[in-house]
């Protein structure tokens, strides 16, 4: 039962991330929404799986999977956003500040 | 219980299909890559739910392998985006 | 500064070992779960690719150059063929004969020679995928000179 | 259980990977190792040719015995037809490898060359020996992928482009074959050729069966370069290094194309008249169009490549005639004669086309060009090359004492006896045009006067190349002995019997 | 020393993954851990002795709770911005100076920042973190540095340095 | 049944790409699409309604499994496909270095 609650929460977060990736205007903001929501959502689903299987071989396997998922998604987001900036995509027209431009010179 | 899980599974699959929209539509290359990255993470969720549904734990193995390969793919594409060589 | 940013470098330190161990897990449990030599080999090669991406060619100097990978690959293939031939020598003159005791279904040490095949196929696949990656990278570097 | 059978695959595989290791430590060990491995293979293949005869020996990999007469393991089969092929592959392979030991000095990375060569040999032996559809596919891909790499071995513009074309069309063919295998597996739930035959005998759906046959024929036809699918062959065969051209043209298109077509259409599918007439038509088309495309060529190797298409047309034509007769159920002797003529011509073609490509390689090695207009008068400075190439030219165009004459004669006689008068006439005309084309080749390359012959630098090629060419020309002459009825009965008749008998192959394999 | 740390960590990872305490499994795990430490040990953590101090683990647990709380806040924040019809975003890249010294700490800080309300770290150059912020609340460097790094920096300092 | 038709359509899409595209890399991608449609077809013919993945569970071996043979065949075919694709990409990269373009209309030295 408790696993179902976790999974439901996770899917709600995933849904939010999905709406974000469709609605937001430029690449940077899409990455913002998507990474956070989807990572937390999937971690939550995996936690639900841990509670479902209990302390067994499957449960510990999922416990191992959570840090891998966490690091993979955050580092992936970081590398992607840096790559996007170097690729030459401009910040959206709503943006107000850009300190990184100076640092690259 | 299993009915409810089924509904959740369909919602999750629907979310990843919507992600496909960004991969196909995305106006620039980085947009498509963001879509692919997010899609890779969502698949792990699908694997987890299926493993509960069928009570077979080896599907989790597939999920972990998927996230690892997706991570390597994302890093490689990000490396390509920065446009630098291996040793820069 | 070679390679990618500090964040990527430090995280690959943490996660590279994990990926390597996971690949070995997939190879070693190949006769019990889905996966086996090919899938595990791809994951092991993935860990090397990850480190190479993050650190530039520092890692290559540790493992040896491209030539070394070719050697590993050839050696592993010869080992696979030799295991096949060992059935010919010890068993009843049949290639691919499973002459070791079979054990109990579901244990780690079971299924005769299948785990040995898995291990060497895994080594072979890891080496060859890594060599494909290196070749494509070196092609790219040479062409942009 | 004949323990020799798997050695045909295992030895070259071990050799290939040993070369990669020893080639790095011991210099020039690669060529000796390759020659040694292939010499060993030649010995055991001739041994098995002599001992096989009418027998059929089966090897079950892994020792899996059939359950309820349903085969579950991987089977390797050695019969009369197979043993002939194994002999051709290993003999031409050995001579080409020995020839390369001096030819390949122009290129760097010799050990890669020899490793790929051994892999190609292993793949072809595997295709010929396996009695299982999917293993045919796997070994076919092994040999074909190594040939992709070997075609591109020179990494110049021509080679790369030819290799690209070859790979795209070869990939297409592979997927057609895989689709065909999938359709067969869907209906029969088995992959063993003999077992599929048994299942088909119990009854099948006509249109489905036709669809599968078309898929398989177009897939292997692409690999064999029968005429509507021939686009890749001239480029690939002319761009590869010369020993590889000899292997590709002399052996590879036969082993992975013609052999599988003959084997599957006789021993797996029930022989049907419509399909037989289609195959005969394709053979005739390739025979005629190939030779007409060859006339206008001035590049030696392209000329030889187009002649390969034409000569393969002869083989397919005569096998098609035999198939038609078998399906009609009449005139079994004529059918046997036609098929025997086809197989005979196939063996001959391996010998003389291999020799011609080796000659072309020798000419290119000496004067550095492949254009007929730029050479001439080489007969004085290169006597051995000239003599061997004369023998090969006379063989391919069917001049009496040489082997090509007898096989063409058998094909034409069979066509006349089967009342295909038009096809017989076409075969004669094509033979005459071939003669004309090769007279042009002889005249421009060896006898006409030109500036090249005044160059004192030109002399005979080194010993390994001469050795291979001389041996092949002796074989060219000796092969005409196969026309004598006693020898033909000993070698060709078992192969023909296993093909024309509708149930022998499957019943023996299932029975064991 | 580094190699031994790597060995122990990978053995723990292996045991968690297989969840099987039979003898063959442990032997396979040991052998593969040795191989793993030979390959990857060179790149691993430098100051090993810090792993032996228990209070660091205590702070790590507290840090985890803080972190999860921040994560949930981040998600609700994003949810608000995404679902609001007008989409109140004000994005930009800001520069933040950190006081952390070691590389591992910087990495942990950057990853934490990535998971907190509306921020993703773009790059690290020396001591400066460049951060993409979805809604810039203030233009003053002092204030926004506190907003972004303040929650984590002190814990990370206690854990690692 | 619709799945079979879909995978045949996928095959035709790949064939269309191989015939009409002018870019070397796109030809390679189209070949990969054809390859994958073939694998999909193999996976479909092994499917049994209500069957589960063919991993034997020691606790409860009597279940309905799907046919494992096509899956083994696909694994082999995937490895072969990997080799083919790597070879093709290597040749394409070499061609790009020689000609400086991916356009097939400009890479036309050989004729006939």
CA distances from D317 to D99, D398, D437 (A): 32, 17, 21
Chain D touches chain E, with at least 3 Cβ pairs below 8 Å, answer no
Mean pLDDT calculated for residue range B36-60: 84
Q: Which residues pair with F23 in a beta bridge?
A: F103
**Residue C77: is its pLDDT beyond 80?**
no
Task: Select the residue of C4, C15, C18 nearest A79 (Cβ to Cβ).
Answer: C4
Contact present, D234 and D302 (Cβ < 8 Å): yes
Of residues E145 and D339, which shows the higher confidence score?
D339
What pLDDT sits at residue F112? 44
Domain assignment present for residue A101? The answer is no
Q: How many domains does chain B have?
A: 1
Select the residue from A35, A58, A63, A79 to test the C interface by mutation, using most C Cβ atoms within 10 A. Answer: A79
Contact present, D70 and D512 (Cβ < 8 Å): no
Domain assignment present for residue F104? The answer is no
Contact present, A11 and A41 (Cβ < 8 Å): yes
Domain assignment present for residue B47? The answer is yes
CA angle D24, D27, D33 (to 5 degrees): 90
Share of chain D above pLDDT 90, in %: 0
Interface of F with B in 54-73 (CB under 8 A): 55, 57
Closest-CA residue to E33 (of E54, E8, E63, E2):
E8
What ipTM was reported for this prediction? Answer: 0.83
Q: Quick count: other Cβ atoms within 10 Å of Cβ D309?
A: 26
List phi, psi (to 5°) of A25.
-80, -45
Domain assignment present for residue B37? The answer is yes
Query: Whole-angstrom Cα distance, residue D220 to residue D255?
Result: 10
Domain assignment present for residue B87? The answer is no
Task: Indicate the pLDDT class of residue C70, thresholds 50, 70 and 90.
Answer: low
Contact present, D232 and D165 (Cβ < 8 Å): yes
Query: Whole-angstrom Cα distance, residue D175 to residue D177?
Result: 5
Residue of D nearest to C86 (CA): D62
Mean pLDDT, 10 residues at a time, over chain A (105 residues)? 84 84 78 81 86 80 84 85 80 68 69
**Residue D325: is its pLDDT beyond 60?**
yes
What pLDDT sits at residue B53? 82
pLDDT of D100-125, one tens digit each? 888 877 777 777 888 888 889 999 99
pLDDT of E36-54, one tens digit each? 887 777 666 666 666 667 7
Domain assignment present for residue A61? The answer is yes
**Which range has highest mean pLDDT (D370-384, D394-408, D443-457)?**
D394-408
Contact present, E149 and E94 (Cβ < 8 Å): no
User: What domain range is C119 assigned to?
Assistant: 6-143
- Consecutive H or E run containing A69: helix A57-87
Parallel, antiparallel, or unpaired for β E92-97 and E128-133?
Answer: antiparallel
Read off the tokens for C126: 């890891």
Q: How many domains does chain C have?
A: 1
Domain assignment present for residue A98? The answer is no
Select the residue from D152, D164, D225 to test the F interface by mutation, using most F Cβ atoms within 10 A. Answer: D164
Domain assignment present for residue A102? The answer is no
Q: Is C39 on the interface with B (CB under 8 A)?
A: yes
User: What domain range is F60 assigned to?
Assistant: 2-99
Contact present, D132 and D75 (Cβ < 8 Å): yes
pLDDT of A56-72, one tens digit each? 777 888 888 888 888 88
Mean pLDDT calculated for residue range E131-143: 73
Helix/strand/coil (H/E/C) assignment for every residue in D183-221: HHHHHHCCCEHHHHHHHHHCCCCHHHHHHHHHHHHHHHH
Domain assignment present for residue B63? The answer is yes
Domain assignment present for residue B21? The answer is yes
Mean pLDDT calculated for residue range D349-369: 85
Task: Indicate the pLDDT class of residue C103, thresholds 50, 70 and 90.
Answer: low
Q: Are the Cβ atoms of B68 and C141 closer than 8 angstroms?
A: no
Domain assignment present for residue A103? The answer is no
**Residue E4: is its pLDDT beyond 60?**
yes
Set of chain B residues whose Cβ sits within 8 Å of the Cβ of A87: 29-30, 81-83
Task: Indicate the pLDDT class of residue D351, thresholds 50, 70 and 90.
Answer: confident
Q: Are the Cβ atoms of E115 and A28 closer than 8 angstroms?
A: no
**Residue C57: is its pLDDT beyond 70?**
no
Task: Indicate the pLDDT class of residue F58, thresholds 50, 70 and 90.
Answer: low
Which CB contacts under 8 angstroms, 24+ apart, belong to A55-60?
A: A56/B57, A56/E19, A57/B57, A57/E18, A57/E19, A57/E20, A58/B51, A58/B57, A58/B60, A60/E16, A60/E17, A60/E19
Of residues D409 and C52, which shows the higher confidence score?
D409
What pLDDT sits at residue C125? 82
Mean pLDDT calculated for residue range D398-407: 83
Question: How close is the nearest chain A Cα to the Cα of C65, in Å?
Answer: 27
Domain assignment present for residue A33? The answer is yes
Q: How many domains does chain A have?
A: 1
Query: Whole-angstrom Cα distance, residue D79 to residue D193?
Result: 14
pLDDT of D176-202, one tens digit each? 898 888 888 888 888 888 888 888 888
Task: Indicate the pLDDT class of residue D155, thresholds 50, 70 and 90.
Answer: confident
Mean pLDDT calculated for residue range D392-405: 84
Q: Are the Cβ atoms of F109 and D141 closer than 8 angstroms?
A: no
Helix/strand/coil (H/E/C) assignment for every residue in F60-108: CCCCCECCHHHHHHHHHHHHHHHHHHHHHHHHHHHHHHHHCCCECCCCC
Task: Select the residue of B64, B76, B87 nearest C2 (Cβ to Cβ).
Answer: B87
The b/e string for D361-375 (b: 16+ C-beta within 10 A; e otherwise) is bbbbbbbeebebeeb
Set of chain C residues whose Cβ sits within 8 Å of the Cβ of A60: none
What pLDDT sits at residue B85? 65
Q: Are the Cβ atoms of C5 and A68 closer than 8 angstroms?
A: no
Chain A touches chain B, with at least 3 Cβ pairs below 8 Å, answer yes
Mean pLDDT calculated for residue range D148-159: 84
**Residue C16: is its pLDDT beyond 70?**
yes
**Residue B41: is its pLDDT beyond 60?**
yes
Mean pLDDT calculated for residue range C127-140: 73
Residues sharing a CB contact under 8 Å with residue F82, sequence separation 6 or more, in sequence order = none
**Residue F4: is its pLDDT beyond 80?**
yes
Closest-CA residue to D76 (of D4, D181, D5):
D5
Query: Whole-angstrom Cα distance, residue C23 to residue B68?
Result: 10
What pLDDT sits at residue C76? 65
Query: Whole-angstrom Cα distance, residue F76 to residue D256?
Result: 19
Task: List chains adjacent to chain E, taking adjacency as at least 3 C-beta pairs closer than 8 Å.
Answer: A, C
The sign of the CA dihedral D106, D112, D118, D123 is negative
Q: How many domains does chain F have?
A: 1
What pLDDT sits at residue D478? 86
**Residue D420: is its pLDDT beyond 50?**
yes
Query: Whole-angstrom Cα distance, residue B73 to residue B37?
Result: 9
Residues sharing a CB contact under 8 Å with residue D64, sequence separation 6 or more, in sequence order = D72, D73, D74
For all residues of chain C together, what is the average pLDDT?
71
- Helices C66-90 and D7-25: crossing angle in degrees, nearest 10, is 140
What pLDDT sits at residue C60? 60
Q: What is the DSSP string of B2-68?
A: HHHHHHHHHHHHHHHHHHHHHHHH-SSHHHHHHHHHHHHHHHHHHHHHHHHHHT-THHHHHHHHHHH
pLDDT of D213-250, one tens digit each? 888 888 888 888 888 888 888 888 888 888 888 888 88
**Residue C145: is its pLDDT beyond 60?**
no
Query: Whole-angstrom Cα distance, residue D382 to residue D453?
Result: 10
- Consecutive H or E run containing D333: helix D332-367
Read off the tokens for D120: 């190609």
CA angle D456, D462, D468 (to 5 degrees): 130
Q: Which residues pair with D245 in a beta bridge?
A: none
Parallel, antiparallel, or unpaired for β E92-97 and D74-78?
Answer: unpaired
**Residue C143: is its pLDDT beyond 70?**
no
Q: Are the Cβ atoms of C108 and E33 closer than 8 angstroms?
A: no
CATH number reported for the structural domain that contains residue F18 in this entry = 1.10.287.3510
Q: Are the Cβ atoms of D17 and C78 closer than 8 angstroms?
A: yes
Query: Whole-angstrom Cα distance, residue B41 to residue D409?
Result: 70
Considering only CA atoms, give the Rg of chain D: 22
Task: Indicate the pLDDT class of residue E103, thresholds 50, 70 and 90.
Answer: confident
Mean pLDDT calculated for residue range D340-361: 88
Closest-CA residue to B48 (of F43, A43, D404, E110):
A43
């Amino acid at each position: 039962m408790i696993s179902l609650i976790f999974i439901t929460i996770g899917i709600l977060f995933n849904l939010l991330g999905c709406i974000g990736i469709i609605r937001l205007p430029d690449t940077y903001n899409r990455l913002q929404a998507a990474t956070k929501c989807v990572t937390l959502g999937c971690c939550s689903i995996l936690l639900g799986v841990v509670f479902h299987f209990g302390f067994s071989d499957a449960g510990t396997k999922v416990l191992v999977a959570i840090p891998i998922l966490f690091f993979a998604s955050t580092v992936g987001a970081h590398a992607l956003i840096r790559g996007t900036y170097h690729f030459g995509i401009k910040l959206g027209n709503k943006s107000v500040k850009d300190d990184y431009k100076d640092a690259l010179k | 219980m299993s009915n409810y899980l089924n509904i959740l599974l369909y919602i999750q699959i629907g979310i990843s299909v919507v992600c496909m929209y960004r991969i196909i539509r995305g106006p620039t290359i980085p947009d498509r890559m963001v879509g692919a990255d997010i899609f890779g993470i969502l698949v792990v969720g699908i694997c987890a739910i299926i493993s509960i549904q069928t009570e077979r734990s080896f599907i989790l193995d597939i999920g972990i392998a998927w996230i690892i390969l997706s991570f390597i793919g994302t890093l490689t594409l990000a490396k390509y985006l920065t446009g630098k060589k291996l040793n820069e | 500064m070679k390679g990618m940013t500090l964040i990527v470098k430090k995280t690959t330190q943490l996660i590279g070992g994990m990926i390597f161990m996971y690949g070995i897990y997939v190879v070693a449990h190949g006769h019990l779960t889905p996966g086996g030599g090919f899938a595990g080999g791809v994951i092991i090669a993935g860990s090397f690719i990850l480190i190479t991406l993050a650190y530039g060619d520092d890692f290559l100097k540790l493992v040896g150059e491209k030539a070394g990978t070719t050697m590993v690959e050839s050696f592993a293939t010869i080992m696979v063929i030799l295991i096949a031939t060992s059935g010919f020598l010890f068993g009843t003159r049949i290639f691919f004969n499973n002459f070791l005791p079979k054990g109990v279904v579901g244990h780690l040490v079971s299924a005769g020679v299948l785990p040995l095949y898995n291990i060497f196929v895994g080594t072979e696949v890891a080496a060859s995928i890594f060599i494909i990656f290196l070749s494509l990278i070196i092609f790219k570097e040479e062409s942009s000179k | 259980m004949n323990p020799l059978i798997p050695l045909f695959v295992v030895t070259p595989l071990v050799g290939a990977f040993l070369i990669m290791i020893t080639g790095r430590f011991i210099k020039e060990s690669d060529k000796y190792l390759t020659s040694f491995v292939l010499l060993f293979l030649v010995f055991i293949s001739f041994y098995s040719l002599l001992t096989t005869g009418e027998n059929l020996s089966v090897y079950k990999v892994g020792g899996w015995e059939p359950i309820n007469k349903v085969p579950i393991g991987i089977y390797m089969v050695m019969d009369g037809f197979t043993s002939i092929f194994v002999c051709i592959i290993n003999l031409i392979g050995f001579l080409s490898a020995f020839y390369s030991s001096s030819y390949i000095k122009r290129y760097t990375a010799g050990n890669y060359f020899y490793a790929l060569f051994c892999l190609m040999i292993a793949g072809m032996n595997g295709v010929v020996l396996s009695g299982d559809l999917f293993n045919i596919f796997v070994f076919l891909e092994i040999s074909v992928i190594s040939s992709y790499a070997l075609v591109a071995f020179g990494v110049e513009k021509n080679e790369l482009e030819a290799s690209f074309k070859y790979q795209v069309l070869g990939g297409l063919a592979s997927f057609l074959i895989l689709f065909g295998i999938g359709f067969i597996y869907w209906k029969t739930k088995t992959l063993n050729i003999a077992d599929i035959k048994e299942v088909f005998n119990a009854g099948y759906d006509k249109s489905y069966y036709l669809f599968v046959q078309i898929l398989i024929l177009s897939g292997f036809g692409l690999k064999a370069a029968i005429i509507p699918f021939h686009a890749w062959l001239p480029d690939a065969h002319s761009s590869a290094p010369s020993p590889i051209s000899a292997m590709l043209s002399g052996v590879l298109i036969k082993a992975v194309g013609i052999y599988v077509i003959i084997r599957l259409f006789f021993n797996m599918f029930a022989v049907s008249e419509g399909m037989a007439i289609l195959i005969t038509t394709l053979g005739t088309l390739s025979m005629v169009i190939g030779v007409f495309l060859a006339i206008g060529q001035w590049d030696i190797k392209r000329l030889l490549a187009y002649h390969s298409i034409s000569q393969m047309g002869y083989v397919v034509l005569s096998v098609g005639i035999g198939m038609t007769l078998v399906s009609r159920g009449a005139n079994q002797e004529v059918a046997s004669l036609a098929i025997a003529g086809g197989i005979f011509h196939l063996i001959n073609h391996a010998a003389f086309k291999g020799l011609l490509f080796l000659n072309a390689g020798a000419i290119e090695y000496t004067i550095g060009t492949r254009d007929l207009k730029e050479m001439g008068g080489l007969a004085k400075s290169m006597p051995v090359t000239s003599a061997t190439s004369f023998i090969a030219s006379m063989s391919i165009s069917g001049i009496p004492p040489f082997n090509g004459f007898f096989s063409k004669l058998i094909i034409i006689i069979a066509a006349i006896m089967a009342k295909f008068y038009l096809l017989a006439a076409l075969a004669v005309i094509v033979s005459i045009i071939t003669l004309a084309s090769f007279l042009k080749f002889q005249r421009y390359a060896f006898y006409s006067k030109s500036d090249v012959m005044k160059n004192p630098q030109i002399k005979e090629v080194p010993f390994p190349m001469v050795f291979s060419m001389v041996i092949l020309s002796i074989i060219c002459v000796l092969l005409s002995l196969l026309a004598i009825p006693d020898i033909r009965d000993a070698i060709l008749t078992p192969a023909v019997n296993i093909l024309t008998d509708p149930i022998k192959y499957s019943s023996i394999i299932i029975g064991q | 020393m580094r190699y031994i740390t790597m060995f122990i960590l990978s053995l723990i990872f292996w045991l968690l993954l297989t969840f099987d305490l039979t003898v063959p499994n442990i032997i396979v795990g040991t052998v593969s851990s040795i191989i793993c430490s030979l390959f990857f040990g060179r790149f691993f953590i430098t100051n090993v002795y810090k792993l032996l101090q228990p209070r660091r683990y205590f702070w790590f647990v507290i840090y985890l709770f803080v972190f999860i709380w921040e994560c949930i806040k981040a998600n609700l924040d994003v949810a608000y911005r995404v679902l609001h019809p007008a989409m109140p975003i004000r994005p930009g890249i800001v520069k933040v100076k950190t006081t952390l010294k070691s590389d591992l700490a910087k990495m942990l800080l950057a990853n934490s920042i990535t998971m907190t309300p509306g921020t993703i770290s773009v790059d690290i150059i020396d001591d400066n973190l460049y951060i993409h912020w979805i809604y810039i609340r203030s233009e003053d460097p002092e204030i926004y540095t506190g907003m972004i790094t303040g929650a984590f920096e002190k814990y990370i300092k206690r854990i690692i340095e | 049944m619709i799945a079979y038709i879909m995978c045949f359509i996928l095959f035709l899409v790949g064939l269309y790409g191989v015939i009409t595209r002018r870019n070397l890399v796109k030809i390679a991608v189209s070949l990969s699409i054809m390859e994958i449609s073939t694998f999909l077809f193999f996976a479909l013919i092994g499917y049994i309604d209500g069957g589960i993945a063919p991993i034997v569970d020691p606790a409860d071996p009597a279940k309905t499994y799907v046919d494992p043979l096509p899956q083994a065949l696909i694994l082999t075919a995937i490895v072969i496909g990997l080799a083919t694709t790597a070879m093709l990409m290597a040749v394409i990269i070499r061609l790009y270095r020689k000609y400086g373009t991916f356009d097939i209309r400009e890479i036309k030295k050989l004729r006939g």
